[in-house]
Chains A and B, each alone.
Chain A
Amino acid sequence: MSKLYPLLRIIVIVVIIALVSRLILPVGTPTLSVRGEQIPGWFLNLGFTSIPITNSLLATWFTMLVLVILAFLTTRNVSLVPGKLQNIMELAVEAIYNLVLDGVGPKWVGRIFPLVATMFMLILLSNFISVAVPVISAVGFKEVHEGKEILIPIFRSPSADLNFTVALALISVILTQVYGVMANGFFSYFNRFFQVGAIIQAIQGKKHPAMAGLDIFVGLIEFVSEVAKIISFSFRLFGNIFAGEVLLLIVASFVSLGLPLIFLGFETFIAFIQAFVFAVLTMSFMSLAIAGHEEEAEGH
């Protein structure tokens, strides 16, 4: 009991602060939008067409700018005895490099590491924008929409926009196929999905026709799971980050002080884990794609 007492006191104080803040600082119910809102009057003119600029696009540019500036500051004076910033960046890059080296081996690490590291950093920064959503969603333009005045936030986390995550998922899955073809050759790689080899073996009499049919069926299932990767990649990131934003906004609209801190910490953890998972899954799918042929050669 004596050990529990300080904890109990903290909990009581937090609950009292939360209840008081509910009375003194009431917060309105948040407006939620699944898609990125277009900023009124902002267009990117390309001559033949004009692209509306959404707030998530702005946030993506901001993220890119931050990454470029960070890279510039880090590599401006690279020295053998690293400074503070260089030290931190070296630590991060080295950790990712060792992870990729363990995953895909020394031959392919030069091709796959830059992609995985870039994806990790871009997703991590854009996820961190989503953690700041209680602040960010209060800054924006007012627009009259269907008779009601609504606030359009100037920033929205890119990961909470399906366009961004689908684009990343497409890059990841298509490059996986490209690396698979580069490592195994065109026919030998796509033989994994459309098993022409099994048909030929069945005609030659080396394989039972039923087994060949089973092989073809398994290959088709493999192909479907390859396509489903796009969906699962994009919806995993989008769902996690958007659900996190909704959670933060709703908790902040219940209680404006104290309690949201716990969820902010939790969402920071989720932001890191999701970036990590996206990068690591990309890496491990690529290592499966490039290693398939060698495994088969060992098996027979």
Chain B
Amino acid sequence: MTPEVAIALLPFAKFLGAGIAIGAGAIGPGIGIGLIVMGALQAIGRNPEAENSVRLYMFIGIAFAEGVAIYALMITFLLLFVL
């Protein structure tokens, strides 16, 4: 591969990398958030009086799981706009 071809392929690689980063990075947090909400709903179903505190911890857990997806999103933004 000559240097000219490599330079011409750079934007292509950038877009491909950005797409793969967010696409693959969203799999794990998606499963994680699903599991968290499943657990929370089961807990509420078994003990409806605990709904308020379960909801609070559910949102905290979702925030942690979602943080991983946000890291992937940051990589995507880095690839698209900064690098």
Q: Are B70 and A240 in contact (CB under 8 A)?
A: yes
Pick the contact of A232: B59, B67, B77, B81 (CB < 8 A).
Answer: B67
State the total of A-B contacts with C-beta under 8 angstroms.
Answer: 36
A276 within 8 A of B: yes
Q: Quick one: which of A269-284 are within 8 Å of B by CB?
A: 273, 276-277, 280-281, 284
> Please, which residues of chain B bring their CB within 8 A of the CB of A243?
70, 73
Pick the contact of B66: A32, A34, A236, A276 (CB < 8 A).
Answer: A236
A-side interface mostly: helix
> Please, which residues of chain A bring their CB within 8 A of the CB of B67?
232, 235-236
> Please, which residues of chain B bring their CB within 8 A of the CB of A33?
81
Pick the contact of B60: A34, A240, A242, A277 (CB < 8 A).
Answer: A277
> Please, which residues of chain A bring their CB within 8 A of the CB of B71?
235, 239
Q: Are A280 and B56 in contact (CB under 8 A)?
A: yes
User: Given the known A-B contacts A235-B70, A235-B71, A236-B67, are A280 and B60 also in contact in the complex, defined by CB atoms under 8 Å?
Assistant: yes
Q: Are B77 and A236 in contact (CB under 8 A)?
A: no
Interface size class of A (residues with CB under 8 A): 10 to 19
Interface residue ranges, B against A (CB under 8 Å): 56, 59-60, 63, 66-67, 70-71, 73-74, 77, 81-82
Q: List 29 A-B contacts (CB under 8 A).
A: A32-B81, A33-B81, A34-B77, A34-B81, A34-B82, A99-B56, A232-B67, A235-B67, A235-B70, A235-B71, A236-B66, A236-B67, A236-B70, A239-B70, A239-B71, A239-B73, A239-B74, A240-B66, A240-B70, A242-B77, A243-B70, A273-B59, A276-B59, A277-B59, A277-B60, A280-B56, A280-B59, A280-B60, A284-B60
